[in-house]
Amino acid sequence: MPLPSTPSAQPRLRVLTLNAALGPLDYAPRPGLDAPPGSIVRVPLGPREINGVVWEADRLPVKEVDASKLRRINAVYDAPPLPERLRRLAEWVSAYYYAPLSSVVRMAMPIPSALDGARTITEYRLTGSEPQRLTPQRAAALDALSDRQGVVREMAEWANVSDAVIRGLIKVGAMEAVDAPADTLPPRPDPAFAPAELSAEQTAAATRMIAAVEARRFAPFLLHGVTGSGKTETYLEAVAKAIEAGGQALILLPEIALTEPLERRIEARFGVRPVSWHSDLRQSQRRAAWRAIARGDAKLTVGARSALFLPYPDLRCVVVDEAHESSFKQEDGVLYHARDVAVMRAKLERFPIILATATPPLETQVQAERGTYEELVLPSRFGGAAMPDIRTIDLREHQPPSGQFLAQPLVEAIEDRLERGEQSLLFLNRRGYAPLTLCRHCGTRIECPNCSAWLVEHRLTRRLMCHHCGLTEPTPDACPECGETGTLVPCGPGVERIAEEAQQRFPGARLMLATSDTIGSPAKARALVDAVENHEIDILIGTQLVTKGYHFPELTLVGVVDADLALKGGDLRAGERSFQQIVQVAGRAGRGAKAGEVLIQTHQPEAPVIDALVRADAAGFYAAEIEARRDAAMPPFGRLAAIIVSGPDEREVAETAAYLGRNAPRDIEHFSVLGPAPAPLSLLRGRYRHRLLAHAARRVDLDSVLGNWLGRADVPPGVRLTVDIDPYSF
């Protein structure tokens, strides 16, 4: 009888390092140190130490080295292990999105300081005593930091000064140290604090969701309610049930600016604010939140898409609010879609997932029609408010004077509101002052040196900015090409320019500009909500940031400055996206006792999207869109994957893309490849980009087809391949 000869008979630990290039490595256990799968460990690597996660060896193949050569792990962190079902989710995400497992697991991991429960973070705050020597920088810091607390680096960043200025202020006693504890118990939401009295429609929907929470089963819901129907009140009852049962709940939002209005409503419903998770947290908050979530103490979390990967041990309900939003799709790093990953997490961990929206993403609508998702409809506004009346303003008939963008009928409607003391919202989905700056003398358009895109003028900061790579430079006086001065002219409108025009046309009105430049943090969003609710604002001018989530009862007019903008996208979702966007912004009008009106400025009132909006025919619009996708076998009826080839050398990129095109699989049924061609942004952050588009029927095993094709490809070192599954921009 042959002896069992597997080297794994000796104890070994497989450790997934957090570095995609290293991948998994084997180590020997350390006697007395228990490290089951999921444990977060510190291991030696050459002369260094790195962090990793212990994984099931049979799920993560490596070339095994002899057990006698293995080094021991150094330590197991004092942090809860990553739960098994989260490890399975990470594996699924890695396979489905064609991303390294290390990169996926990194999203579940905390900042390093959270791994060490014993260590305190020292933060600083102002003491109130003025330093004797007050330099302009010190004065600026004192001014900016009045209600802030953070580590030196964070304080320096907020105040826009160097670390040395902050350290100087500490030294002279103008700032003092405060210890931020690692573990704080978040206040417990009380499900019985103030339950909503639901309408009959809301009750019917809530009952279905509550039953699924109680049964602890996988159940995907599309909570489809018109704007103002009270979706939030309704799904919060399912959340309440999850908390009441002792479990955890998570609400995902598309933007951090929206966390503020929701957190207020949560406080009204449950008596306390939720734990929040987004990019604006400071280090100590991030650490405390991660640990509270991982221990199961955070019962209710509200967060941006990255909150989905955190190690909740006991999720009982997840809500994806504004489920149609494209910001749930992550466009760098791991290219995942949080809505789809949330559904998979719900399936693996067996809990209900609620996709809430007034304008379902087309994929979700199709699932509901197939019966795989249960659709819960709230057909009318809560409290009997009427839906707003939507009309178009044909810009071919009512052309605004040159250099202006508000047509006469819109101007009159705003004047009307000003007289009646009601509020208006002007919507234009374009940040900055003007999307293009042109030299009248030589015709040059100012472009980004790193991207195939124009620089956008931001007049508030007096800078030109690239919206793709973030480059900014002072707005020049002279044309960078011909050197003439006074010849640069702005072309087209951005929200800043609309605000300027509104200020000129309505000199007495109180205006507020709301874009990610002006309300980028929850604190600023709070100020916006207060200002509008206290009626300190007559006209709100904003980008898509103000199209959703807000409930302003005195706002009765919405003007869509340029409805043609979204129609121009040309990609698969252009029609769907513009429909959703306009329905959402229209939904801000007339939510209180007074009726709302929506005026859409357009050059093509006959376009199917605009026509459907005016006739309030959502069903007809969806039916036509679904039909068109079905005919073309486009998602969700077929699958797409974009393969982006990028690198600093244009010729090398083009050659690699051509080589991939020549070697594309040809004999697979219902699978085809388009391209290569330059990608829509053919230069991005200094890298040239070419693209191939793979199209497959749903029954094709796309993972393995792509694996066979791309896994074997010979790619030069300077060139990167990125696979974007179910791409949004292509």
Residue numbers in the known binding site for Zn(2+) are 439, 442, 448, 451, 466, 469, 479, 482
Q: Classify 106 as helix, strand or coil.
A: helix
Establish if 147 lies at the interface with ligand ADP (CB under 6 A): no
Binding residue (CB under 6 A) for ligand ADP from 22, 57, 178, 198? 198
Establish if 287 lies at the interface with ligand ADP (CB under 6 A): no
Establish if 229 lies at the interface with ligand ADP (CB under 6 A): yes
Establish if 202 lies at the interface with ligand ADP (CB under 6 A): yes
231 binds, among ligand ADP, Zn ion, none (CB under 5 to 8 A by kind): ligand ADP
Binding residue (CB under 6 A) for ligand ADP from 34, 143, 147, 197? 197
Binding residue (CB under 6 A) for ligand ADP from 233, 363, 538, 562? 233
Q: Which of residues 364-423 bind ligand ADP (CB under 6 A)?
A: 382
Establish if 51 lies at the interface with ligand ADP (CB under 6 A): no
Establish if 468 lies at the interface with Zn ion (CB under 5 A): yes
Asked if residues 252 and 340 have their Cβ atoms less than 8 Å apart, the reply is no
CB of 686 to Zn ion, least distance (A): 8
Nearest to 515 by CA among 493, 558, 547: 547
Q: Which of residues 16-45 bind ligand ADP (CB under 6 A)?
A: none
353 binds, among Zn ion, ligand ADP, none (CB under 5 to 8 A by kind): none
CA 62, 63, 68 angle in degrees (round to 5)? 110
Nearest to 42 by CA among 64, 57, 56, 25: 25
Other C-beta atoms closer than 10 Å to the C-beta of 58 total 8
Asked if residues 144 and 158 have their Cβ atoms less than 8 Å apart, the reply is yes
CB of 685 to Zn ion, least distance (A): 7
Contacts with 300 (C-beta within 8 Å, 6 or more apart), sequence order: 189, 239, 243, 248, 249, 250, 251, 266, 270, 274, 275
CB of 259 to ligand ADP, least distance (A): 14
CA-to-CA separations, 713 to 78, 174, 511, 651, 663, in angstroms, rounded: 42, 60, 56, 18, 9
Establish if 204 lies at the interface with ligand ADP (CB under 6 A): no
Query: Which residues fall in the annotated binding site?
Result: 439, 442, 448, 451, 466, 469, 479, 482
CB of 231 to ligand ADP, least distance (A): 4
DSSP 8-state secondary structure symbol assigned to residue 382: G
Q: For residue 634, which amino acid is it? A: M
Nearest to 75 by CA among 39, 113, 43: 43
468 binds, among Zn ion, ligand ADP, none (CB under 5 to 8 A by kind): Zn ion
Establish if 196 lies at the interface with ligand ADP (CB under 6 A): yes
Establish if 228 lies at the interface with ligand ADP (CB under 6 A): yes
CB of 232 to ligand ADP, least distance (A): 3
Q: What is the DSSP string of 120-161?
A: PEEEEEE-SPPPSS--HHHHHHHHHTTT--B-HHHHHHHHTS
Site string for Zn ion, 381-420 (x = CB under 5 A): ----------------------------------------
Binding residue (CB under 5 A) for Zn ion from 450, 472, 663, 722? 450
Establish if 467 lies at the interface with Zn ion (CB under 5 A): no
**What is the distance between the alpha carbons of residues 472 and 60, in angstroms, rounded to a whole number?**
44
Asked if residues 384 and 248 have their Cβ atoms less than 8 Å apart, the reply is no
Binding residue (CB under 5 A) for Zn ion from 108, 428, 448, 582? 448
The piece of 13-21, 230-238, 560-568, 597-605 that touches ligand ADP (CB under 6 A) is: 230-238
The residue number whose beta carbon is nearest to ligand ADP equals: 230
573 binds, among ligand ADP, Zn ion, none (CB under 5 to 8 A by kind): none
233 binds, among ligand ADP, Zn ion, none (CB under 5 to 8 A by kind): ligand ADP
CB of 713 to Zn ion, least distance (A): 28
CB of 358 to ligand ADP, least distance (A): 6
What is the phi/psi pair of residue 454, to 5°?
A: -80, 155
Burial (0-12, 13-18, 19+ Cβ within 10 Å), 702 = buried
**What is the distance between the alpha carbons of residues 151 and 288, in angstroms, rounded to a whole number?**
15
Asked if residues 540 and 555 have their Cβ atoms less than 8 Å apart, the reply is yes
CB of 589 to ligand ADP, least distance (A): 12
CB of 252 to ligand ADP, least distance (A): 15
Establish if 230 lies at the interface with ligand ADP (CB under 6 A): yes
Other C-beta atoms closer than 10 Å to the C-beta of 402 total 5
CB of 451 to Zn ion, least distance (A): 3
Binding residue (CB under 6 A) for ligand ADP from 106, 231, 299, 305? 231
Establish if 466 lies at the interface with Zn ion (CB under 5 A): yes
Q: What is the DSSP string of 648-700?
A: S-HHHHHHHHHHHHHTS--SSTTEEEEEEEEEEEEEETTEEEEEEEEEEETTS
Establish if 224 lies at the interface with ligand ADP (CB under 6 A): no
Q: Which of residues 536-595 bind ligand ADP (CB under 6 A)?
A: 551
Q: Give the interface size with Zn ion as a residue count (CB under 5 A).
A: 7
437 binds, among ligand ADP, Zn ion, none (CB under 5 to 8 A by kind): none
Contacts with 520 (C-beta within 8 Å, 6 or more apart), sequence order: 257, 280
Alpha carbon distance, N-terminus to C-terminus of the chain = 60
Q: Which CB sits closer to Zn ion, 38 or 680?
A: 680
Q: Which CB sits closer to ligand ADP, 233 or 576?
A: 233
175 binds, among Zn ion, ligand ADP, none (CB under 5 to 8 A by kind): none
451 binds, among ligand ADP, Zn ion, none (CB under 5 to 8 A by kind): Zn ion
Q: Which CB sits closer to ligand ADP, 233 or 562?
A: 233
Establish if 225 lies at the interface with ligand ADP (CB under 6 A): yes
Q: What is the token pair recorded at 404? A: 């202006």
Asked if residues 284 and 123 have their Cβ atoms less than 8 Å apart, the reply is yes
Asked if residues 720 and 690 have their Cβ atoms less than 8 Å apart, the reply is no
CA-to-CA separations, 640 to 79, 241, 319, 666, in angstroms, rounded: 39, 38, 26, 16
Site string for Zn ion, 137-166 (x = CB under 5 A): ------------------------------
**What is the distance between the alpha carbons of residues 520 and 140, in angstroms, rounded to a whole number?**
20
**What is the distance between the alpha carbons of residues 130 and 656, in angstroms, rounded to a whole number?**
62
Q: What is the token pair recorded at 709? A: 């094709």
Asked if residues 448 and 466 have their Cβ atoms less than 8 Å apart, the reply is yes
Nearest to 588 by CA among 63, 126, 226: 226
Site string for ligand ADP, 507-546 (x = CB under 6 A): ----------------------------------------
Establish if 455 lies at the interface with Zn ion (CB under 5 A): no
Q: Which CB sits closer to ligand ADP, 198 or 668?
A: 198
Nearest to 80 by CA among 254, 352, 279, 295: 295
- Residue ranges binding Zn ion (CB under 5 A): 448, 450-451, 466, 468-469, 471
Binding site for ligand ADP (CB under 6 A): 196-199, 202, 225, 227-233, 382, 551
